[in-house]
Homo-oligomer: A and B are copies of this chain.
């Protein structure tokens, strides 16, 4: 099957741009609905952080380190590098007897306006705590204390990444189709869109075992702390707040988005093939509307899909639309 057109940008009554992709909604029995090619192989990127955090919880490392639901939300986060994120990660590392220099995620300017302003105006360079993946890496370091691996925990053959790979293959139900180096230098394993949706369905309806318990804790942590999973002004945070606990959502670079809907036992995975954030945010919003979890007029739904597009003077220039065949 080929890519399906999912989201369109209209201007002056004409189609200006469009986004194609693949979408799978799955439950414990398999595919419930799909658009595009469920078998398309993708890199989940940061959308699979709850899978990458599974060994941390399942192994008992999280409890041994006394991690709270805030820590678990940060382990699943692509955060804005606001003080509420960086301070918590800094204290987390300190609690492990470690520091920022033990991270291997690299540094980049935070997306949080205040944090960015503070650095820019003081001429200060960002550190690894500001990296949107620093919580995930603090989780890797926490697991590493239990596994007693070396300091280079992002190497493919490191015990931490071998544990992550095992969890990834078991939850997606697939052998990894390959791997790549992620923006934060951790290995990112490839799977099908169906496999990623299958994994999310597992998080939505966990088994009554230690893995299920770990999955439940991670989903509850994401839902309890939407502001820690991304940050103010970000889609994951604003949409999860609007969903009022009905679903956990997580984005990934290059336009991946996943959803976990416990009350329905549904898992969602989507990839916009052009890698553009606009299309992925609009598509996950469309799916929340389709499932009746969000209303067309909710401020978050309007921001990411249903409100008119406006310009610098506030004049209406066009609108985002769901392509024909993509759920209205």
Contact = CB atoms under 8 A, between A and B. Distances in A.
Given A17-B255, A106-B313, A184-B312, 6 more contacts: A12-B188, A18-B274, A104-B313, A185-B311, A185-B312, A275-B278
B108 A312 contact: yes
Interface string A263-297: 00000000011111011000000000000000000
A258 B315 CA distance: 27
Contacts of A1: none
A278 B274 CA distance: 10
Contacts of A12: 43, 178-181, 188, 190
A91 interface: no
Interface string A1-45: 000000001011110111110000000000000000000011100
Contact of A180 (B41, B42, B274, B318): B318
Given A105-B312, A275-B276, A177 B254 contact: no
A177 B13 CA distance: 11
A175 interface: no
Contact of A316 (B117, B177, B181): B181
Instruction: Give the number of times this chain occurs in the complex, counting copies.
Output: 2
A131 B313 CA distance: 11
A21 to B, nearest CB: 10
B315 A185 contact: yes
Interface string A158-191: 0000000000000000000111111111001010
